[in-house]
Chain A
């Protein structure tokens, strides 16, 4: 089955700097890769996703890149703000078939003022 590895487990950056979180997946048939943000005590919320037919997707300060050959994808947050502090989870799934989400272990991002 699918296995998703996420790094780093914790990340601390200065406000205004960029943050990058990386994930690798094992199943080459996976073709849908969402990212979820979970604030303390709250539910995970979808912030951006990418399908395997594109290499990059942007939404304001966040972007996701995908390298299908290497089976890895990354979340990039630019101009970080205190409200970006949270745990971020990557996940992998297939668009056809079972479509279950397999999550990475999460990255705790802290933005220092």
Chain B
């Protein structure tokens, strides 16, 4: 059963520290999303990539967040410096998008980030 792999599963860090979250999409998938989930905001789209190119990162606070896809097997989301309000679960999702029907996206297990 193909899976989206996210690391780390849990991260506790102090305010001001840099945090890097990683995602390995399902092999062959060409679209990767980063979502943030909080109790108040539900699932917020932060950024997404198609064929490794960023398509939209308008949901991300640009001053502290950055998202990259250095190769087809790795997507990263970085926060520098981190703040307590960044505490949330960060999900990566991947899917195969071609010119035609959307076959659905698969979510990873998430990274639970706590900034103290």
Docked CA distance A100–B106 (Å): 13
| A42 touching B109 in the complex, CB below 8 Å, given contacts A98-B56, A100-B55 | yes
- A32, A42, A43 — most chain B CB neighbours (10 Å): A43
Interface segment among B14-22, B65-73, B97-105: the answer is: B97-105
Instruction: Kindly supply a per-residue 1/0 record for chain B positions 22-46, scoring 1 wherever the CB is within 8 Å of any chain A CB and 0 otherwise.
Output: 0000000001010100000011010
Q: Judging by beta carbons under 8 Å apart, are A44 and B102 in contact?
A: no
- Scan A43-69; emit 1 where CB is below 8 A from any B CB, else 0: 111100101000000000000000000
- Distance in Å: Cβ of B92 to nearest Cβ of chain A: 10
A81 neighbours in B (Cβ, 8 Å): none
Report whether A44 and B104 are in contact in the complex, using a CB–CB cutoff of 8 Å: no
Q: Which residues of chain B come closer than 8 Å to A102, judged between CB atoms?
A: 45
Shortest distance between the CB of A6 and any CB in chain B (Å):
9
Q: How many A-B residue pairs have CB under 8 A?
A: 52
Q: Is B91 in contact with A44, judged by CB distance below 8 angstroms?
A: yes
16 residue pairs bridging A and B, Cβ less than 8 Å apart? A32-B101, A34-B104, A36-B107, A43-B107, A43-B109, A43-B110, A44-B107, A45-B107, A46-B105, A89-B42, A95-B100, A95-B102, A96-B99, A96-B100, A98-B56, A101-B105
A43-B107, A45-B107 known; A95-B101 Cβ under 8 A: yes
Report A-chain residues with C-beta under 8 Å of the C-beta of B95.
Answer: 99
